[in-house]
Amino acid sequence: MAAIIEAARDPDYPAEIVLVISNVPDVAGIERARRAGIETLTIDHRDFSSRVAFEAELERALRAANIELICLAGFMRVLTGDFIATWQDRILNIHPSLLPLFRCLHTHEQALAAGVKQHGCTVHFVVVELDAGPIIAQAEVPVYPRDTVDVLSARVLAEENKLYPLALAKVAKSLLPL
């Protein structure tokens, strides 16, 4: 999120961040967005009796802010098929692997255990099946024999911070009128 905020400061960037929503109170990202002058909102999923009720409130907030694209960044909730269908091709997510390899969690551990020579990150559109949506962009990093999870994670994160703003710009430009 911080990388997207920085990119969006450029007047020529094709997207504007108008709202940052967290489902967890008091996270660093909310404070970071506030310091950048971006409207923030916390919708704590634990305050709702179901995912559908939580998503109804999320939907209301997104519509009230006239949101066109959703960028998930550290949002660790599985969205329902109905919510995803409503926002089809307008929800982006970043995943710390070269999809379709190493879906879901613990991707760096999976990459090291598999002995791959390349790892990386993927920005993709969100679909019902986790980490299976159409790929927008990917970035690769080498995997070295002495890498630990922390070292590999840091190398991938550096690429995520470059890739997500570029992928968002690509998608946002495709939505601009000709």
Catalytic residues: 95
Tens-place pLDDT, residues 47-89: 999 999 999 999 999 999 999 999 999 888 999 999 999 999 9
What percent of the chain has pLDDT above 70? 99
Task: Write down the pLDDT at residue 162.
Answer: 98
Residue from 43, 56, 92 nearest 72 by CA: 92
Tens-place pLDDT, residues 90-104: 999 999 999 999 999
Q: No. of H helices and E strands in the chain? A: 6, 6
The vertex-16 CA angle with 38 and 27, nearest 5°, equals: 35
Do the Cβ atoms of 42 and 24 come closer than 8 Å?
yes
Band (pLDDT 50/70/90 cuts) for residue 177 is: confident
The mean pLDDT value of the chain amounts to 96
In Å, what is the CA distance from 22 to each residue of 65, 86, 169? Answer: 15, 20, 22
What average pLDDT score do residues 149-154 get?
98
CATH of 2-175, one of 3.40.718.10, 2.60.40.10, 3.40.50.450, 3.40.50.170: 3.40.50.170
Q: What is the pTM of this model?
A: 0.95
DSSP 99: T
What average pLDDT score do residues 100-122 get?
97
Collapsing DSSP states into helix, strand and coil, what is residue 58?
Answer: helix
Is 70 exceeded by the pLDDT of residue 178?
Answer: no
What percent of the chain has pLDDT above 90? 96
